[in-house]
Structure 1
Amino acid sequence: MNLKQMEAFYWLTQLKSHQRVADHLGLTQPAVSARISGLEESLGVQLVDRGQPGFALTEQGYEVAEYAETFLNLAETLRSRLHVKRKRRFSIGLVGMVTMTWGIALRAKIAAQPGGAMVDVHSAPNVEIRQKLRSGALDMAFVTGEAGLSQVQSSFSVLYRVGWVARPDVIGGAGRVMTPRQLRELPLIFYPHSSPLFGPVADMVEETRRRPNARHTASSLGMICEMVRAGYGASALPLAAVEREIANGMLVEIPTTVQLAPLDVRCVHLNKARKSQSEEVFAMAHQAAREWCVAHPRYMTFKEG
C-alpha cells in the first residue's frame, strides 16, 4: 500500500468515476484502475463492487474510505511543514477581529524585525483556520474559544465586547434601549452558521420565528462591518472593529435589555518544530495585544493566562 494508491481511492470515493479521477489527478484511466487494483491486492480485500451497474463500494471499501482522508491529511501536513522549513516563511492565522485590531500592531512589530518580511498573515474565520492547522500550513493561530481547539499553555487572551450597532437612520436615532423583540423588527445582518456568533444572535432575536424584516448574510467580519456602514441593517459585532465609526457618530451602539457574551480570542497553536521563532513571534503578539487593549479599553480586555 502506498499514498498514490490511497489518493486514487479517496478521489474515487468522492468522484465515483475512474475517468473523473484520472482527469483530476492528471493520469490515464488505466493508471487509476491499476492503483485501485494494487491497493486491493496489498490489503487483500475487494474495495469496489464491480458487480453493480453503477459505482459502489464493498463493505470493506467503506471501512477503508473512512481512513483514506486521514492518510492524505497526514501526508499533506508533513509536506507542508517540510516546505515551510525549506522556504523559511512563518505563517500566522488570525480571526478577523484580531486582524482589525491588535493584529495591526503585531504586524508592525514583526516588520520592524530582521526578516520580518518573511512572515505571512492569514486572516480567516475559525473554520478555515482549523483546516489550515490540520494541513500544517500555519505556525501560529489566534482564534475564539468557540473554535474547539485547546489553548497554548501559559497563553493570554483578549476579551472582545459584543454589542448591536447600526447607522442612526436605520434605527431612527440613537439612545433607545431595545428588547430582543424590537431588534428582530429591524433589518439584520447575520454571520454564517459556522460563526461562533450565529447561534447566540439567532437565539436572542428568535430567528426561527417569522421574520418581519430583511435578513442579510456575509461570510466575514470585515464584510459585515462594510454592510453595517452602508446601511443594510443592524448587526451584533465585536465593537472594537467599529470603534472609530461609533466615536465619530457614523454608527451607533444600540443599548439592549439582553447582553451577548464577549468573544474570547487566544493562541491555540505554536509550531514546536520552529520553537525559537514561534516563541519570538508569540512574545511580540503578547506585547501587541496588551498595548492595544490599554489604548482601547472600552471594548477590549487583556487577560494573562
Structure 2
Amino acid sequence: MNFKQLEAFYWLSQLRNYRQTAEFLSLTQPAVSARIQSLEKDLGKTLIDREAASFALTDQGIEVAEFAVQFLNLREAMMGRLQDKRKRRLSIGLAGMAAFTFGPLLRDAVAEADPDLLLDIYAGSDMQLRGFIASGTLDAAFTASGDRAPDSDFAVRYTVGWVARPDVIAGRDLPMTPEDLRTLPLVLYPKTSPLFNPVAQYVDEMRERPAARHYGNSLATICEMLRQGYGASALALTPLERDIAQGRLVEIPATEPIPALEVACTHVNRARRKQVGAVLDLAREAARNWCAGHEKYASFVTR
C-alpha cells in the first residue's frame, strides 16, 4: 500500500467518478483504476461496490476513505515542514468562534513577535479539527468541546442567545418561552456541533416539529441564513453584534437562558511544546484584548 493508491482512492470516493478523478490527478482513467485495484489487492478487501447501479463504496471502502484523508493530511503536514528550509512553522486550529473573534489578533501578534515563524490557521468545526488532530496536522487547537490542555489556563466565554430578523418574530409575545420558540422556523447546527444538543433539548426537538427546520454547516452559514430570514437560531451572539446594533437582526428575549459557549485550547503537540507555548502566550493576550473590547457578548476567563 502506498500514498498514490490512497490518494487516488480518496479522491475517487469524493468525486465518485473515474474520469473526473483522473483529470483532477492528471492521470488516465486506466491508471486510476489500476491504483484502486492494487490497493484492494494489498488490503485484501473490496472497496468499490461494482454491482451497484451507481458509484458506491463498500462498508470497508467507507472505512478506508476515512483513514485515507488522515494519511493524506499527515503527509501534507510532514512535507510542508520538511520543504520549509527554516523549519519554523506552526499549525493552529481555531473553532469558528475563535477564528472570527480573537483569531486575527493572534495572527497579527505572531507576525509581529516572530516574523520568521509561519503560522498556518485551520478554521473549522470541532469535528473537523478533531480529524486534523488525529492525523497529526495541528500543533494546537482551540475548540468548544473536549478537555482543556494542561498547558493552557484561559478560555473565552461567549454568550449564547436567540436571534432572528425582526419580521420573523413580528407580533409575537415577548419574552418567549421554549414552547414559543419551537413554533418558529429554526436554523440549527448539525448534530456534530457542541450547540446542537443544548438547543435541541431546549426546544424539545424529539416532539413533532410545528415549523420548518433548516440546517447550516458552519457559523458563517448560519449567520447569513439569519440575515436572509430563514428563521431564528440560538448561537453565540458576538458575530452578529453589529447586525443587532443596527437593527437588521434582533436578540429575542427568552424566559430560560442557554449556557454560554467556552472556547479553549484543547490540544497541544507535546513534541513542540516550547514553540506552541510561545504562541499560547500570545493567544492569551489576544483573547484578553479582544474580550475587553467586546464585553457585551464575551468574557475572558482563567482557571
2:147 matches 1:150? yes
- What amino acid is aligned across from residue 133 of structure 1 in structure 2? I
- Label 1:71 to 1:189 Cα distance change in 2 as closer, same or farther (>3 A): closer
Which of residues 276, 286, 289 in structure 2 aligns to 1:288? 286
Q: CA deviation at 1:277?
A: 2.7
Identical-pair percentage = 40
Larger radius of gyration: 1
Q: Unmatched 5+ residue regions in structure 1?
A: 41-45, 56-61
* SS of residue matched to 1:131: helix
Q: CA deviation at 1:247?
A: 2.3
Q: Unmatched 5+ residue regions in structure 2?
A: 53-58
- Label 1:258 to 1:54 Cα distance change in 2 as closer, same or farther (>3 A): same
* SS of residue matched to 2:244: helix
- Label 1:30 to 1:264 Cα distance change in 2 as closer, same or farther (>3 A): closer
CA distance in 1, matches of 2:66, 2:230: 41
**1:132 alignment counterpart:** 132
CA distance in 1, matches of 2:69, 2:187: 38
**1:43 alignment counterpart:** none
In the TM superposition, 1:1-305 aligns within 5 A as 27=31, 73=70, 77=74, 80-81=77-78, 83-87=80-84, 88-115=88-115, 118-145=118-145, 149-155=146-152, 156-172=154-170, 176-305=174-303
- Label 1:173 to 1:167 Cα distance change in 2 as closer, same or farther (>3 A): farther
Q: CA deviation at 1:278?
A: 1.4
- What amino acid is aligned across from residue 222 of structure 1 in structure 2? A
Q: CA deviation at 1:126?
A: 0.7
- Label 1:80 to 1:100 Cα distance change in 2 as closer, same or farther (>3 A): closer
Which deviations, in whole Å up to 9, do the C-alpha atoms of 1:106-130 show, x marking residues without a partner?
1221233443683222211111111
- What is the aligned-residue RMSD (CA, Å)? 4.0
Q: CA deviation at 1:173?
A: 6.6
- What amino acid is aligned across from residue 193 of structure 1 in structure 2? K
CA distance in 2, matches of 1:47, 1:186: 49
* SS of residue matched to 1:282: helix
CA distance in 2, matches of 1:112, 1:133: 27
Q: CA deviation at 1:131?
A: 0.9
Which deviations, in whole Å up to 9, do the C-alpha atoms of 1:236-258 show, x marking residues without a partner?
01011212222232222111122
Contact kept, 8 Å, 1:174 with 1:254, in 2: the verdict is no
- Label 1:115 to 1:170 Cα distance change in 2 as closer, same or farther (>3 A): same
Which deviations, in whole Å up to 9, do the C-alpha atoms of 1:161-211 show, x marking residues without a partner?
111011222211798100111111212111111111111112211223232
Contact kept, 8 Å, 2:168 with 2:232, in 1: the verdict is yes
- TM-score, normalised with respect to structure 1: 0.75
Q: Compare 292-301 and 260-269 and name the one that shifted more.
A: 292-301
Q: Compare 192-201 and 242-251 and name the one that shifted more.
A: 242-251
* SS of residue matched to 1:287: helix
Q: Compare 116-125 and 198-207 and name the one that shifted more.
A: 116-125
- What amino acid is aligned across from residue 168 of structure 2 in structure 1? V
Q: CA deviation at 1:70?
A: 6.3
Q: CA deviation at 1:77?
A: 3.2
Contact kept, 8 Å, 1:4 with 1:35, in 2: the verdict is no
- TM-score, normalised with respect to structure 2: 0.76
- Label 1:293 to 1:4 Cα distance change in 2 as closer, same or farther (>3 A): closer
- Label 1:174 to 1:300 Cα distance change in 2 as closer, same or farther (>3 A): farther
- Label 1:109 to 1:210 Cα distance change in 2 as closer, same or farther (>3 A): same
- Label 1:255 to 1:124 Cα distance change in 2 as closer, same or farther (>3 A): same
- What amino acid is aligned across from residue 81 of structure 2 in structure 1? V
Q: CA deviation at 1:267?
A: 0.6
Contact kept, 8 Å, 1:91 with 1:140, in 2: the verdict is yes
Contact kept, 8 Å, 1:140 with 1:267, in 2: the verdict is yes
Contact kept, 8 Å, 2:110 with 2:119, in 1: the verdict is yes
* SS of residue matched to 1:112: helix
